[in-house]
Chain A
């Protein structure tokens, strides 16, 4: 369980990233955070693992209170919280397996990391993670030789190798084409359901958020302005969050919702999954 209590984030340049955020995200929940760019989605997600330190309030991940000033505590926290990124952020010049093994960093003695001499059980875990996202055959290829969708799955495998309680995903499918975006979202959803990992995903595609999440959080100007189950996040509600009417740019369409993108309607009303 993750709890935000009166969390504020003020960046060193004085910009207010988050103001007075109060949230409770339950264990095993799949939460999508929507909002226009600059609304504070990335800031919110990065406060959870301390990549962005919050400036006031109390943040708990599980039983532990997050302390952004203690480096050792942050490292321990980050070993339990995996994160994937819009631009995949793989080390493209090394093998897929070594990218996944970066997820074992927190559990591996530094000298082993430096030599690249990982324990057999860590390697086994890395292979299992690759199998779970279905690209174990690419283990010894350079990450740069993979397609975007495959790279993002390597990133998911790296997170799985951490054996995390929480997965944070910052616009994980924004640089992928619609069919691939759906594949990656399905992977995330499947992993969340199979392993019961709390998953928080930033996204700007409403149809993806509605198709895959349990709950939607809407943000505007650093504040949480909507928080509720997917059913409540109607077009009208989201238009209120965005402060504008919905457009075709708010959906990704693609293979999972064939024929649902009705002309004249920005967002398919029916959900895919039920």
Chain B
């Protein structure tokens, strides 16, 4: 039904257009003496807004001077971009004879190690985040548990993954590419993932439709059965999307952690950077960007598929019935009205996910 509405978009303008002239002719000749309701409103004060903008500007300038930034260095920026760009491009575009081919494969190997670290970290985070998400959801757990888990999660979120890596994991598992460093990186990513993942999952759980919960309760389900059959089916697509998004974030984070000694592409980057070996730096950057973009695209495709399903569902016809009342509100421009009303069904979920992530 809603699909039919999309097609009828341009044609459906006839009704609002019929009504508009009638409205105008009535508005043209007032039949009543003007009273307070007919007076034009006074323009509201914009003082607060303007003052806010001013404060933002002042803070910006104060921050630049306060930290002693030399803004004039920006003038040299175009020249240095060209200079270093040429250095790196000469590395990327040189004919890949044996040594250069070695650089490329070394970079790809290191990048895949970073992706693997991110994947392991995400898995660790996912494993713990689901139960913790339930404990941190107000509608699923008793108040003391809720308060305590929320507190622990906010402590975890307050510590950046870099701190986890430097202060805890690297000393525990050792430095360097392969073995200890990789495990340290994965654990640091895993633990810091738990903080955000659990919070987002708990919010998804708090937003579930209460109807199936009530019916499940009314059939005598216990708490675990209710979670399994009334809550999980509702939140699982969103949870998977949250996990995948965190995987995308973790790939970037694991590249950074590598610079600190946690293995992967970051280790390689810091090595070649230490040698100021610009053509190799160029190759490493291209590999990072390429692989990250490809993985992002795949992950985004799966996320979209999981949330919206394989085909466009013709969901929720009922909420759209309202516009049959022919509300003579100022005529919406052709078709835009029906477009928005069709989108209303999936919008809240994806919007929430977008805002949360």
The contact string, 1 if C-beta is below 8 Å from chain A, for chain B 259-296, is 00000000000000000000000000000000000000
Given contacts A91-B233, A105-B225, contact A85 B214 (CB under 8 A): yes
- CB–CB A94/B220 < 8 A: no
- CB–CB A106/B229 < 8 A: no
- The residues of B that contact A83 with a CB separation of less than 8 Å are 215, 218-219
The contact string, 1 if C-beta is below 8 Å from chain A, for chain B 220-241, is 1110110011100110110000
Which of B215, B216, B224, B230 has the most chain A CB within a 10 Å cutoff?
Answer: B215
Chain B nearest CB, measured from A66 CB (Å): 14
- Which size bracket describes the interface of B in this complex? 20 to 34
Chain B nearest CB, measured from A132 CB (Å): 17
Chain B nearest CB, measured from A104 CB (Å): 8
Chain A nearest CB, measured from B209 CB (Å): 8
Q: How far, in whole Å, are A159 and B221 apart by their CA atoms in the complex? A: 13
Chain A nearest CB, measured from B347 CB (Å): 17
**Complex: chain A residue closest to B220, CB-CB:** A106
Q: How far, in whole Å, are A91 and B230 apart by their CA atoms in the complex? A: 6
Q: How far, in whole Å, are A85 and B236 apart by their CA atoms in the complex? A: 24
- CB–CB B220/A78 < 8 A: yes
Given contacts A93-B234, A110-B222, A114-B224, contact A85 B215 (CB under 8 A): yes
- The residues of B that contact A19 with a CB separation of less than 8 Å are none
- The residues of A that contact B218 with a CB separation of less than 8 Å are 49, 51, 78, 81-83, 168
Chain A nearest CB, measured from B85 CB (Å): 50
- CB–CB B224/A91 < 8 A: no
- CB–CB B219/A103 < 8 A: yes
Q: How far, in whole Å, are A88 and B215 apart by their CA atoms in the complex? A: 8
Asked if B212 is an interface residue, CB under 8 A from chain A, the answer is yes
Chain B nearest CB, measured from A90 CB (Å): 7
- CB–CB A75/B233 < 8 A: no
- The residues of A that contact B220 with a CB separation of less than 8 Å are 75-79, 105-106, 162
Asked if A43 is an interface residue, CB under 8 A from chain B, the answer is no
* CB-contacts of A81-133 with B (<8 A): 81-85, 87-91, 93-94, 98, 102-103, 105-106, 108, 110, 113-114, 116
Contact partner of B214 (CB less than 8 A), chosen from A89, A108, A158, A162, is: A89
Asked if A203 is an interface residue, CB under 8 A from chain B, the answer is no
- The residues of A that contact B313 with a CB separation of less than 8 Å are 144
- CB–CB B211/A87 < 8 A: yes
- CB–CB A89/B212 < 8 A: yes
* CB-contacts of B237-251 with A (<8 A): 237
Given contacts A91-B229, A91-B233, contact A105 B216 (CB under 8 A): yes
Asked if B217 is an interface residue, CB under 8 A from chain A, the answer is yes
- CB–CB B217/A106 < 8 A: no
Q: How far, in whole Å, are A78 and B222 apart by their CA atoms in the complex? A: 11
- The residues of A that contact B222 with a CB separation of less than 8 Å are 75, 105, 110
- CB–CB A114/B228 < 8 A: yes
- The residues of B that contact A91 with a CB separation of less than 8 Å are 212, 216, 229-230, 233-234
Which of B211, B214, B220 has the most chain A CB within a 10 Å cutoff?
Answer: B220
Chain A nearest CB, measured from B207 CB (Å): 15
- CB–CB B219/A82 < 8 A: yes
**Complex: chain A residue closest to B215, CB-CB:** A89
**Complex: chain A residue closest to B229, CB-CB:** A102
- The residues of B that contact A77 with a CB separation of less than 8 Å are 220
Given contacts A78-B220, A105-B225, contact A158 B233 (CB under 8 A): no
Q: How far, in whole Å, are A64 and B82 apart by their CA atoms in the complex? A: 86
Contact partner of A93 (CB less than 8 A), chosen from B214, B219, B233, is: B233
Chain A nearest CB, measured from B268 CB (Å): 44
Which of B214, B221, B222, B230 has the most chain A CB within a 10 Å cutoff?
Answer: B221
Q: How far, in whole Å, are A162 and B216 apart by their CA atoms in the complex? A: 12
- CB–CB B233/A51 < 8 A: no
* Seed contacts A78-B218, A105-B220, A108-B225; 6 additional CB < 8 Å A-B pairs: A82-B218, A94-B233, A105-B221, A105-B225, A113-B221, A168-B218
Give the A-binding residues of B (Cβ under 8 A). Answer: 211-212, 214-222, 224-225, 228-230, 233-234, 236-237, 313, 315, 318
